[in-house]
Structures are given as structure tokens and as C-alpha cells.
A and B are shown apart, each in its own frame.
Chain A
Amino acid sequence: MNFELTAEQTGFARSLDDLLSRADALAVNRAWAAGDRDPGTRLWSRLADLGVTALATEATPVEMCVAFEALGRYAVPGPWIESAAYLPVALPAANLSESWATVAMPYALDADVVTDVYAIVDAGLHQASAGDRVTSVDPSRHLFEVTAGEPVEHGDLDAAFDLAVLATAAELLGAGERVLADTVAYVKQRTQFGRAIGSYQAIKHQLADVRIALDFARPLVFGAAVDPSPRAVSAARVHCASASRLAARVGLQAHGAIGFTDEYDLSRWLLRIQALQSAWGTPAFHRERVLTSLLDAR
């Protein structure tokens, strides 16, 4: 029994944090949203150098979750869940360390920057071609409709799906943690009625609730990483969705109007958290999966 990250894993988390804070990931996110993909592609190469694109096949899901939490914390753009969690397992033959690919779920994320687009058809994987752009609530996510083509030989799609679900949960956890950290910093310096607003219980108790929700999201994510059963990954996904949404709501409320602006950076995480609520299965889908698994086991 040892349910803490190893020294090596926390070291990996620190390297990612280091790289992403120095890379000005938020500027990368805004550039990506505006259609300039170069900074995002360069960041992708640097993360690939650190091994992030190989984690799904060459490391354990624990390391993968460490990486996706960091990607969420920095709102890194790009089809990371698709290219670095789902497809490496779904398409073992593909070389996804050299180039990006994406898969429609049901829209293909960032299909305009990848080499290959895939679609899931009747529990099989098919080549696909991107069609019209669909606008996401998060401008750093470029969605496309797809038309499925020829089937391709694929690996374990169920395992690939579970890994993508887990990566989504970890990304939501990271985004929620970031919103909480930035909001705590804000309420310590924002003064009203002669006091830091963070000294008021009305603010404190809401932020405490976010701390609690995220602290119980983390063990669900890493418990699922240790044993990635459909029930465990869906449970993590359900709770990370609600905990990150709570973080977003409270974060916005504590910031007030400034948080509601496009210019203020909090907005990037608010939109990312909302976009990911329904990515890789809605909360309702995942709750149903948990329930079915529990009832079947009785």
C-alpha cells in the first residue's frame, strides 16, 4: 500500500511545470485560438521530447495522469487526449511521437493541424476526412465534422477509450486546481470595505468547498490510474467534471466582473472546463457506466 506519487513521478511533474511555465502556455493558448498554430506545435515538440506523447504506451497511467493534470493546469491547446492518450493504444502501429493525429468524438478536435483523422464506427476505427468547422465554447478547441472512410486495423479500443476518459479527468483536475490557485491569489490582494475579500467567510467557505472537492477528485484519478477499470475511470471522470465546474463557478464569482472578461486569463480555464464537461462521454454517460458496473457486480 503506497498511494502517493514516487519521487520520480513528482520530479516528472516538476519538469512539466517548469517547461510549461517558461513556455508561456497561456500565450500559446491565445495564439492557437486566434489561428496561429506555430507556438502550439513548437510546445508539442518540446513536450514530446519530455516523453509526454509516449506515456500511454511506454509508461503507466499514473505518469499519463501527471502529464494531463499539467496540461490542464496550463490550458495547453491541441488534440492531446486524442493523440497522446487514445490513439497510441487504439492504433499501436502509428508513430504518434513524430506527428499529431486526432479522432472524432463526435467532432474531430484540431483536425486542421494533424496528419491523420480517424472516426469510431460500430466499435471499429476508420480513416476519416475533416469537413466543416464547428465552433466550440472554448476558442482554443477547433472542432470539425468528419466523414468516415476505410476501416483501419486497430488495437484495444475499449482500453484506449478508458485511457482517454482518464486523461480528460486528469486535465479537468489540473484546470480546477489552476482556477483555485489563481482565485486564492486574487482574493488575498483584492480589497473591499477596507479588507481583503479573502478574509470574509462568504468567500472563504466557497473556496474551502473547492479545495475539498478537488482533494477528493485527485484520489479518484490516481486510483483509476492504478487500476483503470471502466468503473474507476468513469467515477473519476464524473467527479472531476463536477469538481472543476464548482471551481470555475466559485472562481468566477470570487473574481466578479473582471473574471467575466475575455482579456482576463481566468476566462481561458472557465471555457476549457466547460468544453471538457462533455468531452469523451457526458457525465450522464459515465454515471450510467458506473451504475451498470456496480449493479452487475452485485
Chain B
Amino acid sequence: MNLDFTPDELAFRDEARAWLAANVPAECLPSMDTADGFVAHQEWERRLADARWSVVSWPDEVGGRGASLVEWVIFEEEYYRAGAPGRVSQNGIFLLAPIIFDHGTAEQQERWLPPMATGETIWAQAWSEPEAGSDLASLRSTATAVDGGWRLNGQKTWSSRAAYAHQGFGLFRSDPEAERHRGLTYFCFPLDAPGVTVRPIAQLDGEAGFAELFFDDVFVPDADVLGEPGDGWRVAMSTAGNERGLSLRSPGRFCAAADRLLGVYAEAPDPALSSAVVEAWVRAEAYRLYTWGTVTRLADGGDVGATGSINKVWWSELDVALHETALDLLGDEAEVASTWTDGYLFSLSGPIYAGTNEIQRNIIAERILGLPKEPRGAARGEPG
């Protein structure tokens, strides 16, 4: 048992640290959910990609550097420590790309991955529907087979990044006779395709971080189906616990936030809040160490499986606690809009997206503790 990095890993860390120190913009970029901010974040992705830092764990041919899982975690830690911008490409590179790697054809990989790596194509997820949230398998949007492809109809909602993104991905019911998890197909589609209407939705912070999508006979060619028709649920779930997906969210962001929280405390120590500061730091440290355990298991051929749910509850609640504590420390100034209020509002979405924490606790109780299922068909997990 050890927590040591190899000389190669240390060299990788130093290279990442030096590049980030020289390149991270001194000023915060405007919000990625505004027209200007979206473009600014796309430009940042381009800069990362030019230096091959945008998708370090991908193979060289599609814009990465074939970094190991350990190196990926190291990179993420350096990235957030450097205060680098949020990733506008996140839905694509963390949620969709693992599925393209596992289930995409060679042609799809060649067509979709390189522009995703450069930030030229930004992807939005399209999972939820008005009547299908935690119970994702009850989704109703349809796909009807036509000559050379499919026609999509229906409505998706809470589609992150869709207000400005170029492409979407999600599940549609391709077999109207099949129920729930069966008869679903995984589609990729341009958000400017004829028949797609994007209606941005202002979030708690007033910005259009997500959107509603309306599909009116949208044609999608067979070439844009991921995996086999009818096999969409399995395709989506096969990487729901993927190591580079949200279920193994790198600790870097939370460690960096814990460090900034200590900075706030050091500026104006409030003994009444010292316990909360320490608790938040300890939880971030626990997450960092826990991740090394997961990385070791994965390197030994294990998989994340249902423990991804344990991870997700922890980081999402940790993120809220870190920001609440920082705002408490700011006293009278806490109300004034700042990176802490921005971060706080964003943190509040964590326990909801990527499978609510209630769904995650069901998964933990049933699949890890082995407790009996609800008597009637209760919701299982969901991606995205």
C-alpha cells in the first residue's frame, strides 16, 4: 500500500502544472451559459487541445496523450488548483465519449471525437423528459424507422448546455410495443437539424444552463445511432459507472475549493465556524484518498459498479457543504454576488443531476447492502 507517484507521473504533473501556470486566463471567463461566455470557453478548449491537454486520457490519434487513470486524476487536480475555467465540453468528453469509445463504429469515432477534443463541437445531453426524470425508463419520445434512418418526435428537458451547444445525445423509444428499458435506441443529432426547437430555460442563477428540446419529425440517419437499435438502455448504462464519467468525478475541484475555503478562514478566522471548515476539508481529503483506492481497483481490472453511487452522493453533498461554509464565513458580504455565490448555486444542482441522491441511495441500499427492492417497480439508476 502506497500513495507514491512514479517519476513519469511526477514529470507529467510538473509539465501540466507549468503549462497551466503559463496559460490559465488571469481573469475569470464570463459564464459558459451566455453567448459570449460560451465562445470564450470554446476558445479555451481550443487552447487546451492545441497543447494536448483537453482530453489527456484519450489515445493520441483523437487528440489525447494516452494518459493513465492516475495521470488523469493528477491532471484534474492541477487543473482545478490552477483555477482554470469550467469545461464547456464536459457532457461530451466525460459522458458521451466513453460510450463512443465502447460502442461507436470506427467511422463515428473518427467523425465525432476529434472535434469534441478541440471544443469545435459542443455536446448537450438529452435524457430527461417532462414525465421521465428519476424514472428515466418511462421516457416517451419516439424514434420511427424510415428509409435510411429514423424520425424523432417528442420532448426532452433539463438538457444541459443545449442553449448554445451544437449536438445532442439521448435515448428515444424505437419500439412502441416494448416497455420501459427495452425498445430504446441511443441517438446523436445536430441541435440545428430541421424539426428541432431549442427553448433555453433560465436556471436559478438566471442563465440558460439548460433547455427544453422539441422534436418534430427530425430525421436522423442510421449512421448516427450509437450501438444497436433497441439496445439503447444497455449502451447508456454500460458506461454509467465509467471511470471517467461523473461517477468518478475527479477530486481536484473539491480539493481546490477546500483550499480556497481555508484561505477565506485564514483571512478572517471565525472560531464559531472552525469546526465546519475542518469538517469540509476532511471530507474533501477523504474524497481524494477514496479516489486513489478506486483508481487502484480499476487498474487491477475491477470496475466502479454501484460504488459510483457512493461517490456521487459524497462529492455532491461535499460541494454544497464547502460552499455553505465559505458563505457563512463571508458574513455580511455573503449576499454579494461572487465566485462563492456562483459556486454555491451550481453546487445545489449536484444532488439532483446525474441521478438524484435519492436514486443513488436506493442503489447503494439494494446493490451494495443487499436490501430488498421496493415491492412495486421502483426507479433504478439513470445516466446523465
- Interfacial residues, chain A to chain B (CB-CB below 8 A): 1-6, 9, 62, 184, 187-188, 195-196, 198-199, 201, 203-205, 207-209, 211-212, 215-220, 222-223, 225-227, 235, 238-239, 284, 287-288, 290-291, 294-295, 298
B3 at the interface (CB under 8 A from A): yes
In the complex, what distance in Å separates the CA atom of A209 from the CA atom of B369? 11
B 339-361 to A, binary, CB cutoff 8 A, 1 in contact else 0: 00000000000000000001011
- The 5 nearest A-B residue pairs measured at CB: A204-B365, A219-B289, A208-B364, A208-B361, A216-B286
Q: Which of B4, B9, B262, B274 contacts A287 (CB 8 A)?
A: B274
Q: In the complex, A82→B9 CA distance in Å? A: 40
Tell me, in angstroms, the Cα distance from A287 to B51 when the chains sit together.
42
B371:A184 contact, CB within 8 angstroms: yes
A2 x B275 contact (CB < 8 A): no
CB < 8 Å A-B pair total: 145
Cβ of B219 within 8 Å of any chain A Cβ, yes or no, is no
Query: What are 9 residue pairs bridging A and B, where the CB atoms are less than 8 Å apart in the complex?
Result: A4-B293, A188-B371, A196-B371, A204-B365, A215-B290, A215-B310, A219-B292, A220-B289, A225-B1
Q: State in angstroms the CA–CA spacing of A220 and B292 once bound together.
A: 11
Interface locus among B23-31, B88-96, B116-124, B276-284: B276-284
Residues on the A chain within 8 Å of B231, using CB: none
In the bound complex, do residue B290 and residue A295 qualify as a contact, i.e. CB atoms below 8 Å apart? no
Does the CB pair B369–A184 fall under 8 Å?
A: yes
Q: Name the B residues within 8 Å of A203 (CB-CB).
A: 371
**Chain A residues with CB under 8 A of B148:** none
Q: Is B374 an interface residue (CB 8 A)?
A: yes
State the majority secondary structure of interface residues on A. Answer: helix
Q: Which of B190-204 contact A (CB under 8 A)?
A: none
Docked-complex contact A5 and B1, CB < 8 angstroms: yes
Considering the chains assembled together, what is the distance between the CA atoms of A5 and B49 in angstroms?
38
Are B365 and A205 closer than 8 Å at their CB atoms?
yes
Q: Are A188 and B368 in contact (CB-based, < 8 A)?
A: no
Residues of the A chain whose Cβ atoms lie less than 8 Å from the Cβ of B286:
216-217, 219-220, 235, 239
Knowing that A2-B2, A3-B296, A201-B358 are A-B contacts, what are 15 other residue pairs whose CB atoms are under 8 Å apart, sorted by A's residue number? A1-B9, A1-B292, A3-B1, A3-B2, A6-B1, A187-B371, A199-B371, A199-B373, A204-B366, A204-B369, A207-B365, A208-B368, A216-B283, A216-B314, A219-B286
B373 touches A201 (CB 8 A): no
Q: Which residues of B contact A5 (CB under 8 A)?
A: 1
* Chain A hits for B290, CB < 8 A: 215-216, 218-219
Docked complex: B312-344 residues within 8 A CB-CB of A: 313-314
Give complex CA distance A9, B2 in Å: 13
* Contacting residues, chain A, for B362 (C-beta < 8 A): 201, 204-205, 208
**B5 pairs with A3, CB closer than 8 A:** no
Assembly CA distance A291 to B4 (angstroms): 25
Contact of A222 among B1, B4, B297, B369 (CB under 8 A): B1
A120 to B1, CA, bound (A): 33
A196-B372, A235-B282 known; A216+B287 contact, CB < 8 A: yes
